[in-house]
Amino acid sequence: MTGKSPDKLDELADQVANEFDAYRQPDEFKEVSIVIDDSDPEYPTLIVHVEKPDAEALADRIDSFLREHGARTERERHSDTDIRVLATID
């Protein structure tokens, strides 16, 4: 990974926040949460946490959006209402 990856992930996180802002309303439960895990500086990861009934459909849209913007993705499914989409950029 290049040293620019965290900046690219920050930009991608902002794009996700803008694209899915309807699910991130202030003063309400956020159905979409966005975090960058940089505990391993060589492999920072954008984590988009979807928590809502029928989370699969929204996770599919987020996954597609991330891939269209050059990210590699994988998922962690904790239940039908709790899915995390993990994204990395080369």
Q: For the segment 64-90, what is each residue's pLDDT rounded down to a tens digit? A: 999 999 999 999 999 999 999 999 998
Per-residue pLDDT at 2:
44
Using 70 as the pLDDT threshold, list the residues of the chain that sit under it.
1-6
Per-residue pLDDT at 4:
47
pTM value is: 0.88
84: left (phi over 0), alpha (psi -120 to 50) or beta: beta
Please name which of 62, 60, 61 lies closest in space to residue 48, comparing C-alpha atoms.
62
Are 34 and 47 contacting, i.e. CB atoms less than 8 angstroms apart? yes
* Exposed / middle / buried, residue 59 (Cβ in 10 Å: 0-12, 13-18, 19+): buried
Please name which of 28, 82, 20 lies closest in space to residue 51, comparing C-alpha atoms.
82
